[in-house]
Amino acid sequence: MSYFRFQERNTNVRREIVAGVTTFMTMAYIIFVNPAILSSGGATGIPFEAAVVSTCLGAGIMSIIMGLVSNTPFALASGMGINAVVTFTIILGLGMTWQQAMGIVVIEGLLVVIMVLTKLRVILMNAIPMGLKYAIGVGIGLFIAFIGAQEAGFVAVDSVTAVKLGDFTAHYTLLAAFGLVLTIILVAYKVRGGILIGIAGTTAMGMIFKVIPLPTRIVNLPTAASFSTFFKADIPGAVWSNGMLNVAAIIMIFALFMTDFFDTMGTVIGVGEEAGLLDSKGRLKNLNRVLLVDSGAAVVGGLFGASSITTYIESASGVSEGGRTGLMPTTTGVLFLLSIFFAPLIAVVGGGVQVAEGVYKYPVTAPALIVVGFLMMSVISKIDFKDYEIGIPAFLTIIIMPFTYNISYGIGFGFISYTLIKLFRGRFRQLHPLMIVASILFAVAFIAQALASKFMGK
């Protein structure tokens, strides 16, 4: 246990385990959401049961590896957003097989691995100015809070204004409101494990008032069919078919690469800042190990058939409970592995409440995300908004993340605006060359994605 350096990071075994359990509870929805997206009712050819096992096994193994290799509080699982691109754009949109789609994920992951091994990813992360690093953390906090507000039912979709006030007569919204009040009180009184206690209390209240069901069974044993997606990725067929290079696949590899590369960058910076693991220049110790595990996880996700596995922003919930070491994600990983057998029980807490066809709310864990969002936004006071050269890019970074539902888009807007302001003010010497390169790549990615959408629309 001395490997985890509990004393050095002002933590202990109990605190790390509680943090790991909390992180798992806020991530557990992926066990059911990822398979639902990947299988898409059987339209993709990916069996739901196999997707559940690949999701749990991938998240479990990679979270444990992250904890043991890097000793940092970052848990991993199949990335939301990327799984939707794999299903709806690559498979259903471009007409590729799910094996080819997973091949694209593997190739994208290998590209990121190369970036890590050449140290380019680390150099770029260290090249980001501190103001933007703070803004990334704040933006992720606002993003998490927005996700929580939606999952709680506090915010609903509106065809005119995009969002509106949710239905506070709905049973799931009332349960989430109770959970939010309970969690806020516990956190305000600085109760250790307050977020986890809030989740447990909300679960109990939901069962009492029959908002969430009691589990009908506890154990579910996997079968041979549960592993049918493993190592079926068609890597050659992903980019070369009928004797020709698949240009659309190349574009998708680039798009996934940009998303995976910068989503993780944002998560590591934001959660690392919340955990107090960044130095005065915003650098994380063992950063290269973190990035290597994360990039390798994308490859593993493709090989398992679970879509790209990436570092999760929900790790912030465990950090908010005091998680500071690798024991936190190791605990989370063990729980993911156990979930293969206890999926019916996990479904009660993390599986959500179905409110319409294909629409789910998560009133039990949503309050935790809102509170974690608040805690992550506290660093906003460190951003000098009076300095427009950093204030404007920071502002765009913060608002674009929740507005576009994408971390990398927020980073892209921040990078591009920061670079343009410096260039137009004749202060290009203050720009790190990699910031310029990254800004150009973001601009290309935005244009390529727009053109791809237009092409697919036709």
The C-alpha atoms of residue 13 and residue 7 are separated, in whole angstroms, by 10
Q: How many CB atoms are located within 10 Å of the residue 381 CB?
A: 8
Q: Residue ranges of the domains in the chain?
A: 2-457
To the nearest 10 degrees (0 to 180), the angle between helices 366-377 and 247-275 is 70
Averaged pLDDT, groups of 10, the chain, 458 residues long: 87 96 92 87 90 96 97 95 87 91 96 92 88 92 92 94 95 96 94 90 93 86 91 92 78 84 88 90 89 96 97 93 96 96 80 80 91 89 95 97 89 96 93 93 84 59
Q: Say what the pLDDT of residue 458 is.
A: 45
For the stretch 428-447, pLDDT in tens is 889 999 999 999 999 988 88
What pLDDT was estimated at residue 13?
A: 96
Q: Tens digits of per-residue pLDDT, 337-355?
A: 999 998 888 877 766 788 8
**What's the pLDDT tens digit per position in 198-250?**
999 999 999 999 999 888 888 888 888 899 999 999 999 998 877 777 777 88
Contact 388/244 with Cβ under 8 angstroms? no
* pLDDT for residue 455: 57
